[in-house]
Amino acid sequence: MHTRFQPPRCRLDPNPTDWGPVIWPTLDQESVCQNITSTERYMDYHFEYLPSSFTSQLSLADLIQANVKKICIIGTSHSEYMSDELNNSGIHVDYVKVKWPHEVSHNPVRQIIHDAACSIFLVAVGQWPASLHGGRPTLKHEYHDQMKVMLHDLKESHPDVEIFMRSIHYNPLSRMISACPPRDWRSPAVINAYNKAIADVCNQFENVNFVDTSFIVGPMWDSSLDWNHLAPEVKSVEAFYLAAVVLGVLKHNQSSIDF
C-alpha cells in the first residue's frame, strides 16, 4: 500500500465524521487527488489482538474501579478527543488544554490542574512545538529540556500524582508537512525524535512512565481524516489501551519501544 499524502493542489479535507469519499470541486482535481488522498484504502482494516495477548481478553468492565481514580488528560486537541472517548466510556477524566510545555508552569494552568484534583496525569505536549504555529520547529534538544522543566514542575506541585507521558502521534504527510522546504515539521522523523526525548526525560524521574502507543498508531499512521487527528478506530483503540495502562489493569511493556 502506498503512503497517503496531500499534494499542494489537493487541499480539500474530508469530513472527520464521514468515511465517505471526498467530492472534489473539479474533474481535474478529482483525477489528480482522489487516489492519492483517499481514505477508502483503510475501510477494510480492523484491529485484532493476538489470542495470546492479555489485551484480547480485556473489556470495558475491567476498567470499572472500586476506588475511583480521576485522570487529568493534559495536551491539546489530540488529548481532548481522547478525553471525549474515555468520558463516553464512563471513565472519569478531565481535559486540561496545554499547547506548549512551558504553559504547565503558568499560574492559570497550574490552578486548573490543582482544582481538578486528579490522581493520575496523562500528558502529551508535542504537536504544537513541531508545528507551523511557532514559526520554526522546536529542536530536539530544546524539546528535551522543555519536557524536563515541565515534568519537574508537575512533580514539584503534585508529588503524590502518578504521571504517564504518552507518545506523540504521527501526522500524515499534509501539503505543509511535505512541502519543500516544510511549512510544518510534524513528519514521522521529527515525531520519533520527540518521543525519544520524552522517553529519555522520563527515565530521569521516579514514578514517571513513558507509554509508547506507536504499535497502535503506527500501522495506520497516515489514515487521519483531517490530516491531523487519529482515525476513529485508531483513536478508540488507543484510548482504551491507555486507560487500562494508567489505571493499572494492564502493564505496558517498555522493552518493545524502538526508535
Where in the chain are the domains? 67-254
Residue 257 has pLDDT above 70, yes or no: no
CB 259 within 8 A of CB 206: no
Supply the pLDDT for residue 12.
80
Compute the mean pLDDT over every residue in the chain, rounded to the nearest whole number.
89
Rounded CA-CA distance 177/185 in Å is: 6
What number is the average pLDDT over the span 166-183? Answer: 94
pLDDT in tens, 183-229: 999 999 999 999 999 999 999 999 899 999 999 999 889 999 899 99
- The mean pLDDT of 91-101, rounded to a whole number, is 95
**Residue 102 near residue 151 (C-beta atoms within 8 A):** no
Backbone angles phi, psi at 171, to 5 degrees: -120, 140
SS3 29: helix
At residue 66, the pLDDT reads 64
Q: Largest alpha-carbon pair distance within the chain?
A: 59
Nearest to 127 by CA among 36, 204, 224: 224
pLDDT tier for residue 246 given thresholds of 50, 70 and 90: very high
What share of the chain in percent tops pLDDT 70? 94
**Residues of 11-45 as b/e, b for ≥16 C-beta within 10 angstroms?**
eeebeeeeeeebebeeeebeeebeeebebeebeee
Determine the Cα–Cα distance for residues 93 and 82; give it in Å rounded to an integer. Answer: 10
Return the CATH class of domain 67-254: alpha beta
